[in-house]
Amino acid sequence: MCLGRLANTAERDVLTLLKAFDRLALEYDDVELALVGGGDLLEQTKHEAAQMKAFDRIYIPGFDNSSKWFIWADCFVLPSRYEGLSIALLEAMAEGLPCIANDIPANREVLEDGLVGMLVPVGNEVRLYEAMQKMMTDEAYADDMRYAALGRIHTHYGIDSVADRSIKLYEKIIMNFKK
């Protein structure tokens, strides 16, 4: 699954994801793709999906309850060309989904240079296909990524970790202000 705005301002490479999925779907009858989100590119995305051979296994519900899609999904893909800290990626990790994301600075930081999720070059359909295939066919690897992501969320993005870092930052600011 992919969750996020389908908009000109979102900088997502949805077409590469659709093509990589289509290739995967030609080999495996049991794969499906959900592109959850809306925006000014929703209709264009539906049109592009309709061109795929496996269009009957591509779901584009628009804005919808992300929780039900996280339960539905076995893997999360974030095909951003550019991204700040992706809340959707963090949510997917917190839901225990193994993640694949484009290799851009923010995703590299969140996925710890590929240690807690797979990174693929932007626009590389073959590498994205290979990453999705690996997550689908190598259950042990997908489980390793799932547990590593959950651990990373807990230690770096959980409320206790964020609160502790915030307190330390404020203490540092106060100490510098007093000098």
Q: Which structural domains are found in the chain, ordered by start? A: 2-178 (3.40.50.2000)
pLDDT in tens, 8-60: 999 999 999 999 999 999 999 999 999 999 999 999 999 999 999 999 999 99
Q: What pLDDT was estimated at residue 178?
A: 83
Cα 95 from Cα 101, distance rounded (Å): 16
pTM reported for the whole predicted model? 0.89
Residues in the chain with pLDDT values less than 50: none
CA angle at 65 for the pair 62 and 66, rounded to the nearest 5°: 90
> What is the crossing angle of helices 125-137 and 139-152, to 10°?
100
